[in-house]
């Protein structure tokens, strides 16, 4: 019967593209859940930028938490990046760096509070060759100098934001850059027609495809059909989406981060351990083999029902696109798929879960086939 079930499931995945999946945390075991219904398959139209140059002196949109002066400075950074034909990923790195170094404020010499002779948006130092004080205090000049060093770094677009920024800035607190990546992405999307969702430069920009990393730093974990959505009426405690795929399909880290959980979660109704050395089923509770990754902005992603022990370990740093495991059928599952969850505010409980579909759309890494 097991072989027959597997055969039927594989036909459904490869031909029909629809299977009945339980999604490890769906049964009221892994997450309690509460019924906030959101779209499970809707895909927002992605603009992914345009060839229109941004005018920092024009009428700029407001951005929550930022002043007009900060928005203007961000627009200057983007405009210079456009003029230099730097891809949108570079704009996000530059804005995140400026958020950390100066809060996007063109800081003058602060006297006793100054860090050495650091000045301007990027806190560049005249004494280390960035330019004269007058030049560095010009946001356009400072942005040009930042980009000039960034694009000299080999494979800079594939590096985690923190690594790329640190190679330019040589900061004493390199890990601090990463926390600004979500806001920097939002700023680029707001000011530059959703360019944070794109790949390519000013002239060749297009929306990301599965397997590619968007300017936001995010990518699709698994390409496949979404067979069950987030907190649907029939499954109000389903705190993620189920993405059907052939067993053994690689699962990719959706963004840079640190692995916080690697675990087999599979028990029977009486609480006895079922394990993850074999396929699960409706009679099994839990996520099977799963991984959690903590990303910038206190965002957590979860990847359930992996075929065997994941390829990563707790505490390991991963980059967007790294293979962390393979699609399987362990735990509370009726067919091979990846149950994918997104949590905010560092909360991996049901209270922190959000619908992955609109979230991933916003990152330029749309789920589904």
Same domain for 331 and 202, yes or no, is no
Q: Distance between CA atoms of 362 and 314, rounded to whole angstroms?
A: 28
The CA-to-CA distance between both ends of the chain, in Å, stands at 30
| Inside any domain, residue 62 | no
| Single residue among 156, 173, 207 that ends a domain in this structure | 207
The CATH number for 120's domain is 1.10.530
| Inside any domain, residue 168 | yes
Same domain for 118 and 9, yes or no, is no
Residue 168 belongs to what H/E stretch?
helix 161-169
Contact 263, 230 (CB under 8 A): no
C-beta pairs of 140-146 under 8 Å, 24+ apart in sequence:
140/76, 140/79, 140/80, 143/76, 143/77, 143/80, 143/81, 143/94, 144/80, 144/84, 146/94, 146/97, 146/122
Question: Can you tell me the mean pLDDT for 75-82?
Answer: 97
Q: Which range among 109-123, 144-158, 339-353 shows the weakest confidence by mean pLDDT?
A: 109-123
**Tokens encoding 1:** 């019967």
Same domain for 306 and 199, yes or no, is no
Per-residue confidence at 73, pLDDT binned at 50, 70, 90?
very high
Of residues 13 and 101, more confidently modeled: 101
- Considering its fold, how many domains does the chain have in total? 2
**Mean pLDDT across the chain:** 85
Q: For residue 130, with 0-12 CB atoms within 10 Å meaning exposed, 13-18 middle and 19 or more buried, which class applies?
A: buried
Same domain for 271 and 339, yes or no, is yes
Q: Rounded to the nearest 5 degrees, what angle is found at the Cα of 12, between the Cα atoms of 3 and 293?
A: 90
Confidence check: pLDDT of 14 > 70 = no
Q: Distance between CA atoms of 329 and 112, rounded to whole angstroms?
A: 61
| Single residue among 147, 172, 207 that ends a domain in this structure | 207
| Single residue among 207, 233, 261 that ends a domain in this structure | 207
What's the confidence (pLDDT) of residue 242?
Answer: 97
Q: Give the burial string for 302-340 (b: 16+ CB within 10 Å, else e).
A: bbbbbbeebbbeeebebbbbbebbbbbbbbbbbbbbbbb
In percent, the amount of the chain with pLDDT more than 70 equals 80
Same domain for 196 and 248, yes or no, is no
Same domain for 106 and 149, yes or no, is yes
Same domain for 293 and 268, yes or no, is yes
Q: Rounded to the nearest 5 degrees, what angle is found at the Cα of 234, between the Cα atoms of 246 and 39?
A: 75
The CATH number for 316's domain is 2.70.70.10
Contact 332, 280 (CB under 8 A): yes
Same domain for 261 and 139, yes or no, is no
Q: Distance between CA atoms of 299 and 133, rounded to whole angstroms?
A: 38
Same domain for 23 and 91, yes or no, is no
Confidence check: pLDDT of 140 > 50 = yes
Query: Which string of DSSP letters, residue by residue, matches 86-129?
Result: --HHHHHHHHHHHHHHHTT------GGGSSTT-BTTTTB-GGGT
Nearest to 198 by CA among 82, 326, 74: 82
What's the confidence (pLDDT) of residue 30?
Answer: 31
What's the confidence (pLDDT) of residue 134?
Answer: 96
Same domain for 203 and 239, yes or no, is no
Segments forming the whole domain that contains residue 176: 68-207
Q: For 250-283, how does the pLDDT look when each residue is reduced to its tens digit (9 = 90+)? A: 999 999 999 999 999 999 999 999 999 999 999 9
Q: Which range among 81-85, 88-92, 152-156, 361-365 shows the weakest confidence by mean pLDDT?
A: 361-365
Q: For 339-363, how does the pLDDT look when each residue is reduced to its tens digit (9 = 90+)? A: 999 999 999 999 999 999 999 998 9
Per-residue confidence at 28, pLDDT binned at 50, 70, 90?
very low
Q: For 282-326, how does the pLDDT look when each residue is reduced to its tens digit (9 = 90+)? A: 999 999 999 999 999 899 999 999 999 999 999 999 999 999 999
| Inside any domain, residue 50 | no
């Amino acid at each position: 019967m097991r072989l027959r079930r597997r055969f039927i499931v594989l036909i459904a995945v490869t031909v029909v593209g629809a299977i009945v999946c339980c999604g490890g945390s769906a049964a009221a075991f892994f997450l309690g859940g509460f019924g906030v219904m959101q779209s499970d398959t809707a895909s927002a139209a992605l603009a992914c930028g345009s060839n229109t140059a941004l005018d920092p002196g024009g009428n700029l949109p407001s951005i929550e938490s930022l002043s007009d002066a900060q928005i203007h400075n961000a627009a200057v950074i983007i405009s210079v990046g456009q003029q230099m034909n730097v891809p949108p990923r570079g704009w996000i790195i530059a804005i995140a760096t400026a958020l950390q170094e100066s809060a996007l404020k063109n800081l003058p010499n602060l006297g006793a509070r100054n860090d050495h002779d650091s000045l301007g948006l990027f806190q560049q130092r005249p004494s280390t060759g960035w330019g004269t004080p007058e030049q560095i205090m010009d946001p356009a000049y400072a942005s040009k100098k930042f980009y000039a060093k960034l694009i000299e770094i080999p494979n800079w677009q594939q590096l985690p934001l923190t690594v790329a920024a640190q190679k330019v800035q040589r900061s004493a607190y390199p890990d601090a850059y990463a926390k600004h990546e979500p806001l920097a992405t939002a700023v680029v999307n707001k000011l530059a027609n959703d360019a944070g969702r794109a790949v390519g430069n000013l002239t060749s920009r297009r929306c990301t495809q599965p397997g590619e990393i968007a300017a936001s730093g995010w990518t699709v974990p698994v390409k496949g059909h979404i067979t069950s959505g987030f907190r649907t009426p029939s499954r109000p405690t389903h705190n993620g989406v189920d993405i059907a795929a052939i067993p053994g399909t690689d699962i990719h880290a959706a963004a840079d981060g640190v692995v916080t959980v690697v675990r087999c979660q599979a028990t029977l109704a009486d609480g006895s351990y079922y394990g993850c050395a074999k396929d699960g089923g409706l009679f099994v509770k839990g996520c099977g083999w799963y991984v959690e990754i903590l990303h910038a902005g206190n965002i957590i992603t979860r990847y359930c029902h992996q075929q065997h022990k994941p390829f990563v370990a707790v505490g390991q740093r991963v980059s967007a696109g790294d293979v962390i495991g393979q699609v399987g059928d362990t735990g509370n599952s009726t067919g091979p798929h990846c149950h994918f969850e997104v949590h905010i505010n560092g909360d991996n409980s049901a209270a922190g879960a959000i619908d992955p579909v609109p979230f991933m759309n916003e990152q330029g890494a749309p789920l589904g086939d």
